[in-house]
A and B are shown apart, each in its own frame.
Chain A
Amino acid sequence: MTFEIFLQMFPIALMFSAPIILTALGGLFSERSGIVNIALEGIMMVGAFTGATITVLLENSTPAAAWIGLLGGLLAGIVFSLLHAVASINLKADQVISGTALNILAGGLTVYLCQIIFHQQRTRAFSYGIKKLSVPGLSKIPVLGRMFFDQVYPTFYIAIAMVLLTWFVVYKTPLGLRMRACGEHPQAAASMGINVSKMRYFGVLVSGALGGLGGAVMVLTADIQYTLVSIHGTGFISLASLVFGRWNPFGVLGAGFFFGFSTALSFYAKDIPLLSGLPGEFFYILPYLLTIIALLFFAGKSVGPKAAGQIYESGER
């Protein structure tokens, strides 16, 4: 019986994991280039708002509305993250403060735009978001088929593809090598003729793209409309996944899945005999509790990029 619940739960866990993984990968790019990006939460909100709005507005004219919505979320994330890049790279602002400001801004901005477009504090509900699909053939594999290929959101496959792509870019290409050097020791990178600002722009904008995409994915799979609380801390959970996953794409995959699973658990706990005794609220706080624990245990260890968060002065000795 419990195993049946587990099988049912799995695709839901994948659904919750996808945005966390995508956004955490975004954070990976930013931090590897040396810029701490706690604006991921706000970026997700902007992406989610844009994704939902485009879907609502286009769904009567094209069946691909939700997919265009994803793309729109991605682009909106880039534009929004540009603010963080300018503040922390050109203006040399404290990156945590800049990120916090963007998180606050995102809430106000999206609700304001909803008010203008929809005359209410949320977007209109869309009829379909991203649709589930079953992979022909593979979904028939016993057990595994039901876990990964039957009635799942394709966004999870996007997340997996992004993990591989990130790994390839960060560890195998000259671009990745240079970007990581900027996050570890920008003076060394600069002395080798690398343009540190350019690299950091790249990192932050990619984090905007992936965070915006993550936000759009989240609202278009797990929600019916964008509201102020659609993201409810998922950006921070992504940040925790990045720390938990030790700034490594595969680590992020594991951590993201872990958090996705713990979110799914809150929906199924009442059906699992062992857990049904606990109050339901417990499972709602679980992902956040785990986030705090993850940060407590791992944040102190200096495994992250050494220069992340430090302001880079080009002439410094």
Chain B
Amino acid sequence: MSNIVEMLHITKDFPGIRANDDITLQVEERSIHALLGENGAGKSTLMSILFGLYQPDAGTIRIRGKEVKVSDPNVATALGIGMVHQHFKLVHNFTVTENIILGMEPRKGLLVDMRTAEQKVEDISKLYGLAVDPRSKIEEISVSMQQRVEILKMLYRDAEILIFDEPTAVLTPQEIHELMQIMRRLVEEGKTILLITHKLKEIKEVADVCSVLRRGKLVGTVPVADTDEERMAEMMVGRQVSFHVQKTLAKPGDVLLRVEGLNVKNQKGVLGVKNLSLSVRAGEILGLCGIDGNGQTELVQAITGLTKVESGRIFLRDIDITHLSIKERSDLGLGHIPEDRQKHGLVLDFTLGENFIIHNYYKEPFAHWGILNKKAILENAQRLIKEFDVRSGQGAITPARAMSGGNQQKAIVAREIDRSPDVFIVVQPTRGLDVGAIEYIHKRIIGERDKNKAILLVSLELDEIMDLSDRIAVIYNGEIVGIVDAAETNENELGLMMSGALHKAQEAAQTGREPAHV
């Protein structure tokens, strides 16, 4: 078989950093080619060059053996290259079909021929097993469906080379499994896939070949069948990575966070959290797991003050914070790593240094007599950048927008862990992080626990929940269906509870522990 894509000696500079340094990538037709690398290694940049979003400073691109200049995404589209971005580009109040045909509408006279369009979308969707309803509005469908709309957008334009930038970061395990099947189906139909992911398991599962990048350079390209996960991780980080978290037994103390009979409405206006009670003690990590959309978001938003509650109460230590403002809660010692890093975590147009002091900008030493102290802000930033290995082109003065996805995430995590809040709500802390960074962040979260903080960990990744938590609460349909000891449960039991098939009496999980307080 021949190479359909050849990127030869590609180099790309950004202010302060060489994002791609003489990278040569050759992709065989009808294969799944994975791209692996640390956060900021240059994966998204390389793919953006292939898709025409950036121009390389040096190097050439050949598609189907012919040298081409991909000057903008329209050229890429014409060459049969499509890309699903890390952040979707969909118009929220358009239908699926409208989003797909935009810019290439079938016409009947002066009109958009919506019927033909819908039929075509439906046909493609069937062919690849996507199961998308062409008439739904984007804002009404799930994230994984939205991702399929992005895939359909490429297919509708007859793309042959499909680029996926971390497609699984936003999906649940079940959805990931389905996406893998879709990818196989696409290859069967003759497509070629370039896949960026941090999850080695996924590479093992679907990819044929894997290229590893480190700090802008290509480390090597290996056939996946001959390589194991440890080897790939080592290639990418340059050292051995431990996949398992070391931790001692928890020594739980007083209850620091208590939720009593909480009811919260969701976006659709119905109860997303129903009469929910739980408590988290000092020195323990309570993992909250469940299938996406079972009330996790509403619960977290209620605790942090992003949404208001219908009824019920929330206590921090013994202070009723149910009706306090976000800032008051934060001043009382509540910390939060938010789910949506671009919406709630960062001001994208501020610099990294400014984003680090977003909670404390008005306090000493960052402000003195109401005037910002540049030096203190810079020192603070440099310390955090070093401690958490946040990589960017210009350090403290890099605009957050110019940072790689994973490094944006690291910046938020660094800021919040550094505040060391007494009660810490941690949501998807390692979304989009490389294995090395995950290892470090996990260590730091355990470190917070050992400093006697109360931690509520919400994650869609079962492995993360099981590795970090001391106790695990399972949420289903807005209710806690059970709380189990992390050491005494397994994936199967959790799976059953998450699907609502098994209820575990909350008392049962508490036996052998101190007086029940759930």
Contacts and interface: CB of A to CB of B under 8 A. Distances in A.
Nearest to A169: B110
Contacts of B141: none
Given A172-B112, A177-B98, A181-B102, A193 B73 contact: yes
Contacts of A189: 91, 102-103
A185 B281 CA distance: 44
Interface string B377-406: 000000000000000000000000100000
B489 interface: no
A33 to B, nearest CB: 13
Given A172-B112, A173-B110, A174-B107, A187 B102 contact: no
B439 interface: no
Interface string A161-202: 000000000001110011011001101110111100000000
Contacts of A173: 110-112
B163 to A, nearest CB: 13
B351 to A, nearest CB: 16
Interface residues of A, number: 20
A31 to B, nearest CB: 14
Contact of B102 (A172, A192, A315, A316): A192
Contacts of B94: 177, 180-181, 184
Given A189-B103, A193-B77, A194-B103, A184 B93 contact: yes
B408 to A, nearest CB: 11
B89 A185 contact: yes
Interface in B42-59: 53
B14 to A, nearest CB: 12
Contact of A185 (B92, B107, B112): B92
A246 to B, nearest CB: 12
Contact of B111 (A172, A184, A188): A172
A301 interface: no
Contacts of B93: 184
A8 to B, nearest CB: 41
Contact of A188 (B77, B89, B112): B89
Interface string A68-83: 0000000000000000
Contact-size category for B: 20 to 34
A177 B102 contact: yes
Nearest to B93: A184
B462 interface: no
A72 B101 CA distance: 38
A185 B401 contact: no
Contacts of B518: none
A174 B92 contact: no
A270 interface: no
A316 B93 CA distance: 21
Given A172-B112, A177-B102, A194-B103, A188 B401 contact: no
Interface in A287-317: 306, 315-317
A17 B204 CA distance: 67
Contacts of A174: 105, 107, 112
B90 interface: yes
B89 A187 contact: yes
A182 to B, nearest CB: 10
A188 B85 CA distance: 11
B484 to A, nearest CB: 41
Contacts of B110: 172-173
B74 interface: yes
Contacts of A194: 102-103
21 contacts: A172-B110, A172-B111, A172-B112, A173-B112, A178-B102, A181-B91, A181-B102, A184-B91, A184-B92, A184-B93, A185-B89, A185-B91, A185-B92, A188-B89, A188-B90, A188-B91, A188-B99, A189-B103, A191-B89, A192-B104, A316-B401
Q: Which 4 A-B pairs have the closest CB atoms?
A: A192-B103, A188-B89, A174-B105, A193-B74
Interface of B: 53, 73-74, 77, 85, 87, 89-94, 98-99, 101-105, 107, 110-112, 153, 401
Given A172-B111, A192-B104, 19 more contacts: A172-B110, A173-B112, A177-B112, A178-B102, A181-B94, A184-B91, A184-B93, A185-B92, A187-B89, A188-B91, A189-B102, A191-B73, A192-B103, A193-B73, A193-B77, A193-B103, A193-B104, A194-B103, A315-B53
